[in-house]
Amino acid sequence: MAFEHEIEMDLSKQIPGLCDFGVECFLSGEEMEIGEASYAENGINVILSDKISYNRSPPYVQHELCKNVHYDILSLPTASVIITFYEEPYSVLLRTVHSVLNTAPSAILKEIILVDDFSSRRDLKGKLGYYVKTRLSSKVKLFRMRRQSGLVRARLAGAQRATGSVLVFLDAHCECTSGWLQPLLSRIHQSRSSVVVPLIDVINQKTFEYESDGYGFDIGGFTLDGHFDWHDVPERERERQRRECKDEIEICPTYSPTMAGGLFAISRDYFWEIGSYDEQMDGWGGENLEMSFRIWMCGGTLETIPCSRIGHIFREFHPYSFPNDKDTHGINTVRMAKVWMDDYQELLYMNRPDLRNHPDVGDVTHRKVLRDKLKCKSFEWYMQNIYPEKFIPTRNVQNYGRISAIEDDRFCFDDLQQNIDEPYNLGVYSCYKHDIAPSQLFSYTYNKVLRTERSCATIDDRRSTKYIVMIPCNSDDEVTDTWVHTSFNQFKHEQTGLCIDRKNLDKNLLHAAVCDSLSKTQKWEFQKTKKQSI
């Protein structure tokens, strides 16, 4: 058999013990070069992956306290693990499947459902089918979509075939560590409306190192341009955990406002009850925030379970595309926002003007009907109760919008399209006349903080030119830098007494100078626009 021969060839490439326990490893010489080329193409070093055993030993990453928890396996619900894949490197996918088989106790692993979202890679066709049939437990089932359907519909197809009591969704480039499944199932067994997420570690896409620094972890949030992001566990949640788990808060289920979406477990009945997924979401993206908001607003909880740890390869880019090159993330995000975000939708459009009146969004009536049927709470309730730390540029502020030089439209505060996840210099640019451009949206809070959604203004006083720098705001909203908007329209920094000035602009960057009430270059005002009434 041709496949038999190919599979033997694959196995003979593997070096026993390589990268065991998640240590990093490297290729050398010519292999290093083709490894790098495969990385450029796939976002993963496939040549290295091919040399690592499908069964490499997982690292020891569990918290000490987890080892003392006893699970009565026979009383736990069973799990169907659903893995959808599209153009996934063959050895990466198989390592994912093997790692589930190696770590999940067979009494609770009902099945693994692989859903091929109509990949074109040759080895994902006959060879994969043959491998599953001849080398893997009969618990592993492989289905193929008849056309590329996107993550959501591929997962729904998997869920429809699942027979276990709990659905566990995994991406196709994961490695599970010992004991990951029991705590997820146990929590759902205790509380059926808990949707649970493992602690997601990083597997390095170039070295396959299982990177786990300690036991700390982040929870999920979102940005107003519609993306998922990570945050520290807030003090508010730590207090809840102290009440709930006493002195074991490090391993306590941790409420998370959103989830990344790739890896989670949910009771199968509850999944269907609460509206599964929006099946009209195409391609990739947006479905994770949709599900997160829906779960919280419709009576469930979303929790990170620290005793369950799974590694995931985070790629820097997606090695695949979608039919007609559509921005499926953006379109799906609008579908989500129309159903779940109420008035807050406007903030999404303010940050993503291209998504306002997007022609490809389609109809969301049936999802609104679902929201009514489930009697879900409002987005305002979600923000107040589940994610009160989130700064909303239009709430609790003295003013927001464009900040322009007094009566001079050539100068508005602007991020100058710098990377806003890192500290960046505040600049000026011609004021955009109509909509508020996202790069020019600023807020001035009641606590006298001058900020954007994520960054707060401070002064870099290390150099002779004291640039105004926007730095990530403290998550606990601890106020460090405060600004007075003076009767002369200056922004005066209370800690240094300096004022924001646009004199002698260098590369359009603002700096702080000694306050001078007569200086024309220190006068700033919030410009009012029609669209500002949210």
Q: Which does 148 bind (CB under 5 to 8 A by kind): Mn ion, ligand UDP, none?
A: ligand UDP
- Per-residue contact string for residues 163-182; x = within reach of Mn ion by CB under 5 A: --------x-----------
β-strands 491-493, 483-485 pairing: antiparallel
Q: Which is nearer to Mn ion, 257 or 262 (CB)?
A: 262
Give the span between the Cα atoms of 200 and 192, in whole angstroms.
Answer: 22
DSSP 3-18: HHHHHHHHHHH--TTT
Q: Which is nearer to ligand UDP, 321 or 465 (CB)?
A: 321
State in angstroms the smallest separation of the CB of 173 from Mn ion: 6
State in angstroms the smallest separation of the CB of 315 from Mn ion: 7
Q: Which is nearer to ligand UDP, 156 or 383 (CB)?
A: 156
Give the span between the Cα atoms of 271 and 294, in whole angstroms.
Answer: 11
- Closest to 99 measured CA to CA, from 166, 136, 139, 54: 54
Tokens 């209370």 identify what position? 494
Query: Buried b vs exposed e over 69-86: b needs ≥16 C-beta within 10 Å?
Result: eebeeeebbebbbbbbbb
Among 150, 179, 311, 393, binds ligand UDP (CB under 6 A): 150
Q: Which is nearer to ligand UDP, 88 or 453 (CB)?
A: 88
Q: Which is nearer to ligand UDP, 84 or 186 (CB)?
A: 84
State in angstroms the smallest separation of the CB of 263 from ligand UDP: 9
> By CB under 6 A, is residue 330 in contact with ligand UDP?
no
The residue ranges of DSSP E strands in 314-396, in sequence order, are none
Q: Which is nearer to Mn ion, 115 or 500 (CB)?
A: 115
> By CB under 6 A, is residue 169 in contact with ligand UDP?
no
Span 230-269, contacts to Mn ion by CB under 5 A? 262
State in angstroms the smallest separation of the CB of 262 from Mn ion: 5
Q: Sign of torsion, CA 289 161 370 296?
A: negative
State residue 207 phi and psi, 5-degree precision.
-115, -5
Q: Which is nearer to ligand UDP, 329 or 485 (CB)?
A: 329
Q: Which helix (H) or strand (E) holds 427?
A: strand 427-429
State in angstroms the smallest separation of the CB of 259 from Mn ion: 13
Among 262, 300, 306, 311, binds ligand UDP (CB under 6 A): 262
> By CB under 6 A, is residue 284 in contact with ligand UDP?
yes
State in angstroms the smallest separation of the CB of 269 from Mn ion: 27
Q: Which is nearer to ligand UDP, 54 or 86 (CB)?
A: 86
Give the span between the Cα atoms of 497 and 517, in whole angstroms.
Answer: 13
Q: Which is nearer to Mn ion, 171 or 287 (CB)?
A: 171
- Closest to 299 measured CA to CA, from 396, 371, 201: 371
Q: Which two tokens stand for residue 201?
A: 């570690």
- Per-residue contact string for residues 306-325; x = within reach of ligand UDP by CB under 6 A: ---------x--x-x-----
State in angstroms the smallest separation of the CB of 407 from Mn ion: 51
Q: Which two tokens stand for residue 75?
A: 């009383």
Among 100, 124, 154, 289, binds ligand UDP (CB under 6 A): 154
Give the span between the Cα atoms of 257 and 52, in whole angstroms.
Answer: 36
Q: Which does 152 bind (CB under 5 to 8 A by kind): Mn ion, ligand UDP, none?
A: none
Q: Which helix (H) or strand (E) holds 198?
A: strand 194-203
Span 39-98, contacts to ligand UDP by CB under 6 A? 84-86, 88
Q: Which is nearer to ligand UDP, 256 or 455 (CB)?
A: 256
- Per-residue contact string for residues 112-131; x = within reach of ligand UDP by CB under 6 A: -----x--------------
Query: What is the 3 state secondary structure string of 455-500?
Result: EEEEECCCCCCCEEEEEECCCCCCCCCCEEECCCCCEEECCCCEEE
Q: Which is nearer to Mn ion, 89 or 438 (CB)?
A: 89
Q: Which does 84 bind (CB under 5 to 8 A by kind): Mn ion, ligand UDP, none?
A: ligand UDP
Among 48, 81, 157, 172, binds ligand UDP (CB under 6 A): 172
> By CB under 6 A, is residue 433 in contact with ligand UDP?
no
Q: Which two tokens stand for residue 366?
A: 């049936």
Q: Which stretch binds ligand UDP (CB under 6 A): 143-151, 202-210, 381-389, 424-432?
A: 143-151
Residues whose CB is less than 8 angstroms from the CB of residue 327 and which lie 6 or more positions away in sequence, other chains included: none
Give the span between the Cα atoms of 435 and 132, in whole angstroms.
Answer: 55
Give the span between the Cα atoms of 299 and 495, in whole angstroms.
Answer: 45
Q: Which helix (H) or strand (E) holds 101?
A: helix 90-103
User: Which residues would be at the binding site for ligand UDP (CB under 6 A)?
Assistant: 84-86, 88, 117, 148, 150-151, 154, 171-172, 262, 283-284, 315, 318, 320
User: Which residues would be at the binding site for Mn ion (CB under 5 A)?
Assistant: 171, 262
